[in-house]
Each structure stands twice: as C-alpha cells, then as structure tokens.
C-alpha cells in the first residue's frame, strides 16, 4: 500500500545525547525529531518496545495522519514501504565534545547545558544490533556531533561497521583531526566524509570557527580527497551560508578554488539554521541566487553540489511551508 512516510520513520534511528529519535532533522516547519526513547544513555535497548513505538507512528502515516513534527519535511515521499522491523538508516549524534567553536553551533551556544550531560559509548549497543541483525546494511549510517573523530570509540565504530559490510557511511567532521579509519573506509569506497569549512580563507575561517586550524583542515581535505579518486571521490567540502559573514560570491569563489586545489569534486551547501528558521517566510531572493550561483559554478567546473536541508528547502520553495 502506498502512503506518505519517510525512510527514518520506517527504518531509522538516531542516537542523541540523552534520547533516541527517529531522525535528527529539525529544519522544516514541523520541527522534526520524533522521540523513540527518553532519558537514554547508552544502555541496551528493548527492541520490542522500540519497534512498537515505531509501528504506531507508521500506522498513523498509513492512515494519512502525518506526525505533526514531520510536516513540511523534505524527506517525506509516497511509496510502498517494506513492513519488516529493522534499522538501516542509523544516525549518531550523541557526541558532545568538539575541537571547533563554530559561532552557529547549538552546542557551543548552550555550553552550560551540554556540560551537564554524561557522555556514553554506543559501540556495545551497535555490536548487539549487528549480531541480532536489527541493524542491516543497505541504507545509510551518518555521523554528526560534536566531533566524532575525537571520541575514543570512533575508530572502533567505523572499523566495526566496515567489517559488517556497510557501504554507505557518511561522517560530518570539523576536519581538524585526521582519522586513519575514515581514510581507510574512503579508500574502500564505503564512506563519504563531509568537512565543514564554511570559508575560503583563513580570516573568515577563524571568524566563524574561532579556532586556528584552517591550514590543517585544507591539508586533511586534500588527504581524504586523494584517498579515493574514483568518479567523484568521497570527500565533500561543506559551506554554511551565514548572513553578513560569508554570504558573498567572493568568499564562495575562494572556497570552491580551495576545494579544486585539494582534488575535491563534491560541495555541500546549507544556510545557517537559526537565521533560516526566524526568517524563513521572508528570505530575500539574494539567498536563492547565491544557492543557484554555487550550483552553476560547480556545474561549470564538473563538480557536484549537495543541498542540505535549509538550502534545499529554499531551492524547492519549501521555506514558505
Ligand atoms: S519525515 Fe522528516 S522529521 Fe519526520 S521522521 Fe522523516 S526525516 Fe524525520
Ligand atoms: S564542528 Fe559541528 S559540533 Fe563542532 S562546533 Fe562546529 S557545529 Fe558545533
């Protein structure tokens, strides 16, 4: 039976700092993040309970009652969904520590709140999920944070998932720390690393990131880009447009030039989340023009662009929803 749902409601799970959610997406008008378990800190999961919860959400979608948090989400699609209970879209967002201090970061802005949260290690749970075939390859595993590469269990986690045949992993990293496990998985063609740089020069980088690491990030972008040079490679350089800071063609040109020099072929583009949410219904065409500028310029250089949620919402006119 065809109905409106998404891959995360059907087969997704997200490890957050203190909860388990269906997904980590919050950019749309509904707000996202449908809770599967509150007060979670790395303990083993009662799968019967968790899938019962997921089934309730799925049942409502089947009846045409869209979960309010999903309203306006770009991931909704109408199709025949597989009814079996398993997870194959997994997100890791439970890390708090980071080696950058981005001005737009929610965790940096709410440092006191995050200081109170006790970090946990998801590896034992993931290992059990793999052994019991609750977690299966075939979807996507993504890593956000905090900064995943500085977590003690990070290298083990990547090696474990690689060993179990996961071929579609994606890591969001500050790019400040080089990870041998990332490079090895890129070499095998099973992982894409997205490096957040948001700038085309050292001065703007420092203004946004508030750390002195531009050269290190450029060097790591180059190493990851060269770990696998097949087709479009597996290193993506990400730029969040921040109004009045880096929202101009000059900075964007410098950014794209630096990616070309590193041997990178993929760009990712987004718009600063808080500003987007506040201004979503009145965003001027200047920003849509800027998004189109990146797409056109990348196309003329034989590069590809992935639009992240806010940029994609703007491009598809969904910011008005
Ligand atoms: S529709 Fe969007 S918000 Fe809802 S679960 Fe799917 S990805 Fe998350
Ligand atoms: S790299 Fe990510 S987690 Fe770290 S400060 Fe920047 S936005 Fe926050």
Per the structure, how many domains does the chain have?
A: 1
Please report which confidence band the pLDDT of residue 254 belongs to, taking 50, 70 and 90 as the band edges. very high
Q: Give residue ranges with CB within 6 A of ligand 2.
A: 98, 100-102, 105, 107-108, 145-147, 174, 196
Tell me, what's the pLDDT at 321? 53
Count of beta carbons in the 10 Å neighbourhood of residue 157: 21
What is the whole-number distance in angstroms between the Cα of residue 133 and the centre of ligand 2?
32
Nearest 5°: the CA angle 171, 307, 142 is: 20
- pLDDT over 80 at 16, yes or no: yes
Residues 169, 186 contacting (CB under 8 angstroms) = no
- pLDDT over 80 at 319, yes or no: no
Give the span between the Cα atoms of 4 and 67, in whole angstroms.
11
Mean pLDDT of 237-263: 98
36-30-141-91 Cα dihedral, nearest 10 degrees: -50
Tell me, what's the pLDDT at 263? 95
Model confidence, pTM: 0.89
What is the whole-number distance in angstroms between the Cα of residue 205 and the centre of ligand 2?
13
Ligand 1 contacts CB of residue 57 (under 6 A): no
Q: In testing the pocket of ligand 1, which one of 3, 8, 20 has its CB within 8 Å of the most ligand atoms? A: 8
Tell me, what's the pLDDT at 303? 96
Give the span between the Cα atoms of 157 and 259, in whole angstroms.
28
How far is Cα of residue 268 from the mean position of the Cα atoms in its chain? 11
> Phi-psi category of 67—alpha, beta or left, where left has phi over 0 and alpha has psi -120 to 50?
beta
**Length of the chain as a residue count:** 321
Residues 282, 308 contacting (CB under 8 angstroms) = no
Token reading at 42: 């790395």
Domain containing 136: what range? Answer: 86-320
Pick from 76, 58, 70, 61: nearest CA to 31? 70
Q: Is residue 29 part of a domain?
A: no
Q: Is residue 187 part of a domain?
A: yes
Residues 288, 314 contacting (CB under 8 angstroms) = yes
Please report which confidence band the pLDDT of residue 26 belongs to, taking 50, 70 and 90 as the band edges. confident
What is the whole-number distance in angstroms between the Cα of residue 102 and the centre of ligand 2?
6
204-107-243-194 Cα dihedral, nearest 10 degrees: 60
Give the span between the Cα atoms of 237 and 198, in whole angstroms.
9
Q: Is residue 247 part of a domain?
A: yes
* Highest mean pLDDT of the ranges 23-27, 52-56, 230-234, 312-316: 52-56
Q: Three-state DSSP class for 273?
A: helix
Give the span between the Cα atoms of 19 and 13, in whole angstroms.
10
Ligand 1 contacts CB of residue 70 (under 6 A): yes
CATH of the domain at 152: 3.20.20.70
Ligand 1 atom having least distance to the Cα of 67: 4
Tell me, what's the pLDDT at 32? 78
Q: Is residue 227 part of a domain?
A: yes
Match 């490079």 to its residue by tokens.
183
Q: Is residue 36 part of a domain?
A: no
Tell me, what's the pLDDT at 31? 73
Ligand 1 contacts CB of residue 23 (under 6 A): yes
Tell me, what's the pLDDT at 231? 67
| Beta-sheet strands, E only, within the chain | 2-5, 12-15, 20-21, 35-37, 77-80, 87-92, 135-143, 169-173, 191-196, 235-241, 266-271, 304-307
Give the span between the Cα atoms of 192 and 266, in whole angstroms.
10
What is the whole-number distance in angstroms between the Cα of residue 214 and the centre of ligand 1?
34
Give the span between the Cα atoms of 37 and 190, in whole angstroms.
30
Residue 192 sits at φ, ψ, to 5 deg, of: -115, 125
Ligand 1 contacts CB of residue 22 (under 6 A): yes
Mean pLDDT of 94-119: 88
Q: Is residue 186 part of a domain?
A: yes
147-177 pLDDT, tens digit per residue, is 999 999 999 999 999 999 999 999 999 999 9
Ligand 1 contacts CB of residue 5 (under 6 A): no
Q: Is residue 206 part of a domain?
A: yes
- pLDDT over 80 at 320, yes or no: no
Q: Is residue 55 part of a domain?
A: no
Residues 158, 129 contacting (CB under 8 angstroms) = no
Pick from 195, 78, 194: nearest CA to 140? 194
Tell me, what's the pLDDT at 18? 93
- Ligand whose nearest atom lies closest to the CA of 273: 2
Match 């700092």 to its residue by tokens.
17
Question: Beta strand pairing status for 77-80 and 20-21?
Answer: unpaired
Pick from 241, 195, 240, 234: nearest CA to 218? 195
Residue 79: beta bridge partners? 3
266-318 pLDDT, tens digit per residue, is 999 999 998 998 898 889 999 999 999 999 999 999 999 999 988 998 998 87
């Amino acid at each position: 039976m065809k109905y409106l749902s998404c891959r995360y409601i059907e087969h997704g799970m997200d490890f957050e700092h203190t909860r388990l959610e269906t997904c980590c997406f919050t950019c749309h008008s509904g707000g996202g993040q449908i809770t599967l378990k509150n007060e979670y800190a790395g303990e083993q999961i009662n799968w019967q309970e968790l899938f019962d919860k997921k089934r309730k959400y799925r049942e409502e979608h089947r009846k045409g009652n869209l979960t309010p948090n999903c309203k306006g989400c770009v991931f909704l699609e109408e199709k025949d969904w597989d009814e079996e209970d398993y997870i194959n879209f997994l997100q890791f967002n439970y890390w708090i520590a980071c080696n950058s201090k981005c001005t737009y970061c929610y965790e940096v802005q709410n440092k006191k709140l995050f200081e109170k949260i006790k970090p946990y290690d998801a590896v034992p749970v993931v290992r059990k999920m793999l052994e019991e075939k609750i977690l299966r390859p075939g979807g996507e595993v993504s890593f956000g944070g905090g900064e995943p590469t500085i977590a003690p269990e990070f290298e083990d986690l990547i090696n474990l998932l690689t060993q179990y045949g996961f071929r579609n992993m994606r890591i969001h990293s500050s790019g400040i720390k080089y990870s041998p496990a990332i490079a090895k998985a890129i070499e095998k063609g099973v992982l894409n690393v997205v490096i957040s740089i948001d700038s085309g020069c050292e001065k703007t980088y420092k203004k946004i990131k508030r750390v002195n690491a531009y050269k290190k990030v450029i060097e790591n972008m180059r190493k990851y880009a060269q770990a696998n040079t097949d087709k479009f490679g597996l290193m993506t350089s990400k730029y969040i447009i921040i109004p009045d800071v880096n929202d101009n063609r000059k900075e964007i040109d410098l950014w794209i030039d630096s990616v070309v020099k590193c041997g990178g072929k993929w760009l990712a583009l987004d718009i600063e989340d808080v500003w987007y949410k506040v201004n979503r219904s009145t965003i001027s065409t200047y920003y849509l023009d800027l998004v189109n500028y990146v797409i056109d310029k990348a196309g003329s250089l034989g590069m590809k662009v992935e639009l992240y949620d806010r940029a994609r919402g703007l491009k598809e006119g969904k910011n008005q929803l």
